Amino acid sequence: MEEKTARRRIVLVPVPAQGHISPMMQLAKSLHLKGFSITVAQTKFNYFTPSDDFTDIQFVTIQETLPESDFKNLGPIELQHKLNKECQESFKDCLGQLLLQQSNKITCVIYDEFMYFAEAAAKEFNLPSVIFSTTSATAFACRSVFDKLYANNVLAPLNDTLEYYFSEPEGQKEELVPEFHPLRYKDFPVSRWASLESIMELYRNTVDKRTASFVIINTASCLESLSLSWLQQKLEIPVYPIGPLHMMASAPTSLLEENMSCIEWLNKQKKDSVIFISLGSLALMEISEVMETALGLDSSNQHFLWVIRPGLVPGSEWIEYLPEKFSKIVSERGYIVKWAPQKEVLAHPAVGGFWSHCGWNSTLESIGEGVPMICRPFSGDQKVNARYLECVWKIGIQVEGELEREAVKRAVKRLMVSQEGGEMRKRAVSLRERLRSSVREGGSSHNSLDEFVHLMKTM
């Protein structure tokens, strides 16, 4: 009891989306293990129901009153704008209550960079605030210069129709961005969910107006040392690369039920023989793309584990559009689930490759298990990650342009059975070892967390 009252408290504010909740909960666990009391302030939407692993962590609700239709119909960027307007007052009330109730002092508020209302509320109570980026340091750096590129009109806008996205961007957009090698203009984190203007407004609020004292990024310096030094110089506040967080503090963080039966299926497969296909929690596909993927997988002759989320194809129930013939192929050498225990799948010896949309969590989880990737980014920071996987870490093959069966077959065979794929696997394993070292005692992420903790305890 005595020890509890002596603990300092940190309040965390995640974006209510799977790819943001998971790393924030892993950060919560890491800080709790370092002796802090933790409060997580969540919205009612996409509420993360904590398992027994989180019994020592307090969860409170930010009483937002957005209509259900907003959550169903708005894209993530528009929803983010609304949440920031809607939550500021209720979070202020929430923070006020916590300050009254808690016997232990609140040391700081750590907020997902896109929940910037939390920073304004913390300021009202004179509490230091800390930005937490769930994307890569490179994507963070890209967002910091977005306004300059936006003004020069060189970014490739993504229309909200899928066809437009896969059509070839013209002219300068293929060129490399100075200072950001090897990123091309078209790799910049432009979301396909909103207009460039709307994205610019969000980035202005997260980049230009911030007054936070520190930044934590879910990354490791062995992955992005140049981008981290660049940020350290430009931001003029300390940047702490503390990641990959899923390797620092593991805990179940899935919003959806994981279908564990796929692990039994994997147990029956040979080492490195299965390609795992999963596109995170938000990416979408057209029916024609799913069909081309299915046909490409068929002719590749590889075994596959495929996550097809209900709603992956807008307007569909699940996989009713797949032809009867494909059921036979699945029964011979495939397995399809609605949601998988992704980290366990990637850690399974049977998995030799990962076809991914390259969300940052998926990227870190794959590298963390030494699994090379086929990169098919859908939106935002995923394009940055895909480019790094292919050109910097050299453990990925990017599939660009229209998705058709021959390209699918070629990419799968290149990764799974060619010598080039074998070389990528070796590089991925060596990168995995470097990541493991960085989270161990004396490693860079481990030290970075300790420095941050020391600062918070002595502030």
User: What is the binding site for ligand UDX (CB under 6 A)?
Assistant: 17-20, 22, 134-135, 254, 278, 280-283, 307, 339-340, 342-343, 359-362, 365, 381-382
CB of 250 to ligand UDX, least distance (A): 11
Using CA atoms, how far apart are residues 133 and 114, in angstroms rounded to an integer? 9
* Sheet with 106-112, side-by-side order of all strands: 58-62, 37-43, 9-13, 106-112, 129-133, 214-217, 239-241
Q: How far is the CB of 246 from ligand UDX (least distance, A)?
A: 7
Q: Are 122 and 128 in contact (CB under 8 A)?
A: yes
Q: How far is the CB of 130 from ligand UDX (least distance, A)?
A: 18
- Which of 303/409 has CB closer to ligand UDX? 303
For ligand UDX, the closer CB: 302 or 366: 366
- Tell me the closest approach of the beta carbon of residue 126 to ligand UDX, in angstroms: 31
Cβ proximity to ligand UDX: between 36 and 360 the closer is: 360
Which of residues 73 and 250 has its CB atom nearest to ligand UDX in the complex?
250
Taking the complex as a whole, the smallest distance from the CB of residue 401 to ligand UDX amounts, in Å, to 21
- Distance from C-alpha of 28 to C-alpha of 311, rounded to nearest angstrom: 30
Measure the CA–CA gap between 244 and 146, rounded to whole angstroms: 25
Q: Which is nearer to ligand UDX, 360 or 452 (CB)?
A: 360
Residue 198 near residue 81, CB atoms below 8 Å = yes
Q: How far is the CB of 358 from ligand UDX (least distance, A)?
A: 7
Please give the Cα distance from 56 to 37 (Å, whole number).
8
Question: Token pair for residue 129?
Answer: 């605030």
Q: Least Å distance between CB 390 and ligand UDX?
A: 16
We find the least distance from the C-beta atom of residue 254 to ligand UDX, in angstroms, to be: 5
Closest to ligand UDX by CB, 129 vs 342, is 342
β-pair type (351-356, 274-278):
parallel
Q: Which is nearer to ligand UDX, 17 or 220 (CB)?
A: 17
Task: Evaluate whether 263 touches 345 at the Cβ level (below 8 Å).
Answer: yes
Give the residue among 229, 220, 280, 255 at the shortest CA–CA distance from 45. Answer: 255
- Smallest separation (angstroms) from ligand UDX to the CB of 278: 5
The amino acid present at 131, given as its one-letter code, is I
For ligand UDX, give the closer residue by CB, 340 or 456: 340
- Please say which residue, 18 or 84, places its beta carbon nearer to ligand UDX: 18
Smallest gap from residue 418 Cβ to ligand UDX (A): 26
Between 127 and 373, name the residue whose CB sits nearer to ligand UDX: 373
